[in-house]
């Protein structure tokens, strides 16, 4: 930042410096204003992304049966899920190097191609899978660009508000997706592909307002991104298939990736990024608090069906209250964190996560209402967690590395719950802990479900203990009541015009 901008110029050049500073500051403010004007459009496209994901998750079995390939139906969600895990890291990292405007237009092109392919070539299981993979790759750009803009262009104290809105949108989209999937299944599931096409109406707004800068002298590290992509694919495939060959492949590829970033002249991420102890300590909070994200919905569904005879379709409407609670908490989380600070916000979120899981563990035999209340408490914790946790994590890296941090955060948010569902799913099917339930819970299936709920609660408690251990090291004031993360400086915003 220049002396004129900071006000530190000498007296002889004060007048000229003030004029230059005002010009630079005005240009930077305009870039910031335009970037923030793009946020509502990005948010709506992100809603389409999660809505489509959840809707297809609900109806994939019926789609597979209708096109004569029920044994391959799970691939309709599994393969796009793998694509999501890969592109989330790549898009976030690219946000540090390439034009956000160009990234979004590439995403729009993928949305259109995938949607039209799904609408007009929906008679074959493989064209459906490919269409969903392409559509997913396009839609994910909106979420990554939203987070990069929030990190780079939103003033520090307001970042948690945007992070809170982001998680609220995720939960709201989940609720709408469940309802839309059920409704369109009765009409024609093919129309699910049309939802994302509405994104094209936002192209003019995004072209006008998104920053169009690339880092000066930067190049896109194609070999590095490809190696990162296949490494992540090995990890995600393992948690989708539990085939140990994939974890072997992941380990080998991870070693090659480490060697590459140490030897390459200009890798997209350097070893120094992973040597940031503060960042690594903070990102573990994401891993621990999001562990139960994928497992709790099927766990609630299975418990309701096995113990109380309620089908998953009906239980979805009970869980809808949990998603709505998460939405409300997500919207409110920015204001809550603004009042009490990030540290206390993390304590509140972790307490709700643990409380909801343990409440279910003790009350699961009391009926559907008890399960519904437990779901409301747990999902409210998820809604509360994102803003203070992610703002804490992003506060440990320089703003110039925020895109890569967003990518790794997204990877952690996919891998951690994938581990959770990979562990809990088989245990659910086997009623593996039929003699280990909480006090007062009957032996058998109830005890097994009780133990699984408790397992999720224990991981949340470990997250709270980890937070207490690292709190003095990640916050300058010990509790995160002040916001350390900043935005791009004025010179960088001038380049972003």
Contact call for residues 210 and 38 (beta carbons, < 8 A): yes
Give pLDDT, residue 483: 52
Helices (H) and strands (E) in the chain, counts: 20, 0
What's the pTM?
0.76
CB count within 10 Å of CB 111 equals: 27
478-490 CB burial, b ≥16 within 10 A, e <16: ebbbebbbebbbb
Quick one: the chain helix, strand, coil %, rounded to 5? 80, 0, 20
Task: Please list, in sequence order, all residues whose beta carbon lies within 8 angstroms of the beta carbon of residue 390, skipping any fewer than 6 positions away.
Answer: 163, 286, 409
Nearest partner of 260 among 294, 295, 222, 286, judged by Cα: 222
Q: How far apart are CA 211 and CA 151, in angstroms?
A: 13
Q: What is the pLDDT along the chain (497 residues), one digit of tens a residue?
A: 333 333 344 444 444 434 444 455 666 678 788 888 999 999 999 998 888 887 787 677 778 888 888 777 777 877 787 787 778 778 877 777 788 899 899 999 999 999 999 999 888 889 999 999 999 999 989 988 998 888 888 877 778 888 888 888 888 887 777 677 666 666 678 888 998 999 999 999 999 988 887 665 556 677 887 888 788 778 777 876 778 898 899 999 999 999 998 888 878 778 888 888 899 999 999 999 999 887 888 889 889 988 998 887 788 788 889 989 998 998 888 889 888 888 999 999 999 999 999 999 999 999 999 999 999 999 999 999 988 998 888 888 887 777 778 778 877 887 788 788 778 877 776 766 777 767 777 888 888 899 999 999 999 999 999 999 999 888 887 777 765 444 444 444 444 44
The residue to which tokens 């750009």 are assigned: 141
Q: How far apart are CA 159 and CA 382, in angstroms?
A: 18
- Length of the chain equals 497
Instruction: Supply the angle between the helices 368-394 and 445-474 in degrees, to the nearest 10.
Output: 20
Q: How far apart are CA 383 and CA 61, in angstroms?
A: 29
CB count within 10 Å of CB 114 equals: 25
């Amino acid at each position: 930042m220049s002396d004129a901008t900071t006000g530190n110029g000498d007296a002889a050049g004060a007048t000229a410096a003030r004029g230059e500073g005002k010009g630079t500051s005005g240009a930077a403010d305009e870039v910031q204003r335009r970037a923030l004007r793009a946020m509502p459009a990005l948010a709506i496209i992100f809603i389409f992304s999660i809505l489509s994901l959840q809707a297809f998750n609900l109806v994939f079995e019926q789609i597979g049966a209708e096109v004569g390939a029920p044994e391959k139906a799970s691939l309709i969600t599994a393969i796009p899920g793998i694509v999501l895990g890969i592109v989330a890291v790549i898009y976030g990292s690219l946000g540090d190097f390439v034009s956000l405007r160009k990234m979004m237009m590439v995403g729009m092109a993928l949305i259109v191609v995938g949607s039209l392919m799904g609408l007009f070539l929906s008679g074959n299981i493989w064209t459906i899978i490919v269409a969903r993979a392409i559509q997913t790759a396009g839609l994910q750009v909106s979420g990554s660009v939203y987070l990069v803009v929030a990190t780079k262009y939103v003033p520090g104290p307001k970042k948690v508000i945007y992070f809170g809105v982001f998680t609220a949108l995720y939960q709201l989209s989940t609720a709408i997706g469940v309802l839309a999937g059920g409704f369109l299944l009765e009409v024609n599931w093919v129309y699910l592909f049309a939802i994302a096409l509405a994104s094209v109406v936002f192209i003019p707004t995004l072209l006008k307002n998104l920053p169009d800068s690339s880092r000066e002298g930067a190049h896109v590290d194609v070999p590095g991104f490809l190696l990162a992509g296949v490494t992540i694919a090995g990890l995600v495939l393992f948690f989708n298939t539990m085939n140990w060959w994939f974890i072997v492949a992941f380990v080998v590829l991870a070693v090659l990736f480490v060697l590459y970033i140490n030897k390459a002249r200009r890798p997209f991420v350097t070893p120094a990024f992973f040597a940031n102890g503060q960042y690594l300590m903070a990102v573990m909070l994401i891993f621990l608090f999001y562990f139960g994200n994928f497992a709790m919905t099927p766990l609630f569904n299975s418990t309701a069906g096995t113990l109380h005879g309620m089908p998953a379709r009906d239980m979805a409407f009970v869980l809808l209250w949990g998603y709505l609670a998460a939405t409300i908490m997500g919207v409110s989380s920015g204001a809550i964190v603004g009042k009490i600070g990030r540290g206390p916000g993390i304590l509140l979120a972790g307490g709700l996560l643990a409380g909801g899981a343990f409440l279910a563990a003790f009350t699961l035999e009391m009926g559907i209402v008890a399960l519904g209340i437990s779901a409301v408490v747990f999902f409210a914790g998820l809604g509360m967690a994102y803003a203070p946790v992610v703002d804490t994590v992003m506060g440990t890296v320089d703003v110039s590395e925020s895109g890569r941090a967003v990518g790794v955060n997204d990877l952690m948010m996919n891998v951690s719950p994938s581990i959770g569902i990979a562990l809990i799913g088989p245990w659910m099917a086997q009623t593996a802990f039929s003699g280990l339930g909480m006090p007062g819970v009957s032996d058998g299936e109830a005890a097994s479900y009780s133990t699984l709920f408790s397992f999720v609660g224990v991981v949340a408690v470990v997250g709270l203990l980890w937070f207490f251990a690292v709190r003095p090291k990640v916050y300058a004031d010990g509790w995160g009541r002040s916001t350390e993360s900043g935005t791009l400086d004025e010179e960088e915003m001038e380049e972003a015009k």
